Amino acid sequence: MEEILKRLDERFYVREKKQQRPNLLFVTVDKKVAVEAVTYLRDYEGFRHLVMISAVDYIEQNLFQLTYLLHNYQLHSDIGVRVFIDREHPVMDSIHHLWAAAQVYQREIKEMFGIDFPGSPRVDEPMILEGWDNIPPMRKDFDTKKYAEETYFPREGRFTLDPIKQMEKKNYPLEAEVKYEIKRVVRDNRDKK
Amino acid sequence: MDDKEIKIDPLKQDENNLGFNPADYFCGERPKAVTPVANKIVRKFYNWAQANSLWILAFGTGCGSIELPPLYTARYDVSRFGIFPRPTPRQAGVFIISGYLSVKTLKRVIRSYEQMQNPKFVLGLGSCTVNGGMYFDSYNTINRLDYYLPVDVYIAGCMPRPEALIAGFNELKRLIKEGKAEGANKYADNFDWYKANQKKIIKDWDLPEYNW
């Protein structure tokens, strides 16, 4: 893995690296060279299997992170190629010409995060969310609970019975009320800041 | 023929005048409530016969459908009770909504349910059909099944075991024998309300109003 990382760094300038296990390495490369780096790993280093493409929404940094996880059958090792793309213009180059299976991942990411992959087959067609007219549901600024309550007729009377809280309220009603009121105030003010 | 691609939208009148008439394929008629037979002895006989031949539509919507194979096979052998899986909605009488139901599946479920012949019954299996279960805050699964389809019997649990399912069938049989399993009639009577609820969440509605 050390030599692979060295060769990769020489060609494509690895911005960040993280060796999670002896056989699992994560590298961060620039968006411009990401597809080239993935192609190089596939064709020259033997990472022939695309395990998955995943996306993370880093709303605080205004970035999306894509991870291409590749597997090498000879070395029994994985490399995750990470790319950061701008959240305002979420467009990434498609890799469906390298693995046909990438089409499905890219369709799903397009649907769930709104990251576009121009040229990927059927990427604009709905896959799971037929007729979705809101912002993509896996983005952090999408309030899932609020949407579900507005759309799906929630049934009245959902509540939890936590045994500890229940017994506290039963045996020490006054103390429990004060305790949970203090907890509530602390929690509300912590989130405000 | 030239290479021109001809697209036919089955719900619209044909613009190219190719001889396609939607009325030949889809009936505009609304469902009608079936009044029970007036004669008490005949009615009881009908109900008894219906209760003893419940044919399930083999349509698994969620994780609950994994409870159905043990139900049919040797261990729980539900055919003892006259319950029997059928492959098409035209031959089936009981629709088991087995677990969570996503919006995409709901579209297919409505279509299958409306294609079933009377008498037809709906069994809601699992907590997800009652109040959403653990998917109550999901963006894509419905919370209450009875807003979209008339449910005769709920079986609570996550997941209910096949014994619970058999108990649910016994409850359904009891209701049918007493003449109280009126789900299909309820659907016909409150048809507009059900359609409005369905159309609220299925945003790309491309079905006919009623699938005969």
In angstroms, rounded to a whole number, what is the distance separating the alpha carbons of residues B108 and B72? 24
Q: Which of A129, A130, A144 sits opposite B137 (nearest CB)?
A: A144
Residues A124 and A178 in one domain: no
Rounded mean pLDDT, A119-128 = 88
Q: What is the pLDDT of residue A110?
A: 93
pLDDT surpasses 60 at B14: no
**Which residue, among A152, A155, A158, A159, would best test binding to B if mutated, counting the most B CBs under 10 Å from its CB?**
A152
Chain B residues lying within 8 Å of A141, measured CB to CB: none
Q: Is residue B12 part of a domain?
A: no
pLDDT surpasses 60 at B17: no
Q: What is the token pair recorded at A174?
A: 């006054």
Percent of chain A with pLDDT over 90: 56
Closest chain B residue to the Cα of A127, Cα to Cα: B104
Partner-chain contact A129 B104, CB within 8 Å? yes
Residues A109 and A178 in one domain: no
pLDDT surpasses 90 at A108: yes
Closest chain B residue to the Cα of A143, Cα to Cα: B139
Residues A101 and A167 in one domain: no
Q: What is the mean pLDDT of chain A?
A: 90
What secondary structure letter does DSSP report for B31? P
Q: What are A74-107's pLDDT values in tens digits? A: 999 999 999 999 999 999 999 999 999 999 999 9
Q: Are B142 and B101 in contact (CB under 8 A)?
A: yes
Number of separate domains in chain B: 1
Q: Is B141 on the interface with A (CB under 8 A)?
A: yes
Q: Is residue B44 part of a domain?
A: yes
Number of separate domains in chain A: 2
Q: Are B22 and B13 in contact (CB under 8 A)?
A: yes
Full residue range of the structural domain in which residue A185 is found: 159-193
Q: What are B176-202's pLDDT values in tens digits? A: 999 888 889 999 999 999 999 999 888
Residues A124 and A66 in one domain: yes
Q: Is residue B26 part of a domain?
A: no
Q: Is residue B159 part of a domain?
A: yes
pTM recorded for the entire structure: 0.81
Query: Could you tell me the CATH number of the domain that includes residue A118?
Result: 3.30.460.80
Cβ contacts from A onto B, under 8 A: 59
Query: Could you tell me the CATH number of the domain that includes residue B116?
Result: 3.40.50.12280
Residues A163 and A176 in one domain: yes
pLDDT surpasses 70 at B20: no
pLDDT surpasses 80 at A193: no
Residues A150 and A165 in one domain: no
Residues A59 and A123 in one domain: yes
Residues A128 and A95 in one domain: yes
Instruction: Report how far apart, in Å, the C-alpha atoms of B131 and of each of A154, A159, B99, B146 are.
Output: 7, 12, 11, 10
Q: Which of A119, A123, A95, A94 lies closest to A108 in space, CA to CA?
A: A123
Rounded mean pLDDT, A139-168 = 85
Closest-CA distance of chain B to residue A160, Å: 12
Residues A126 and A190 in one domain: no
Q: Is residue B7 part of a domain?
A: no
What is the pLDDT confidence band of residue B11, given thresholds at 50, 70 and 90?
low
Q: Which of B127, B176, B187, B119 lies closest to B151 in space, CA to CA?
A: B187
Residues A67 and A97 in one domain: yes
Considering only CB atoms, which residues of chain A are within 8 Å of chain B? 126, 128-133, 137, 142, 144-145, 147-149, 151-155, 158
- Give every CB contact of residue A89 below 8 A, 6+ residues apart in sequence: none
Q: Is residue B9 part of a domain?
A: no
What is the pLDDT confidence band of residue A115, given thresholds at 50, 70 and 90?
very high
Residues A88 and A181 in one domain: no
Full residue range of the structural domain in which residue B81 is found: 39-201
**Which residue, among A138, A141, A146, A153, would best test binding to B if mutated, counting the most B CBs under 10 Å from its CB?**
A153
Residues A125 and A183 in one domain: no
What is the pLDDT confidence band of residue B119, given thresholds at 50, 70 and 90?
confident
What is the pLDDT confidence band of residue B44, given thresholds at 50, 70 and 90?
very high
Instruction: Report how far apart, in Å, the C-alpha atoms of B45 and of each of A41, B116, B178 are.
Output: 73, 22, 11
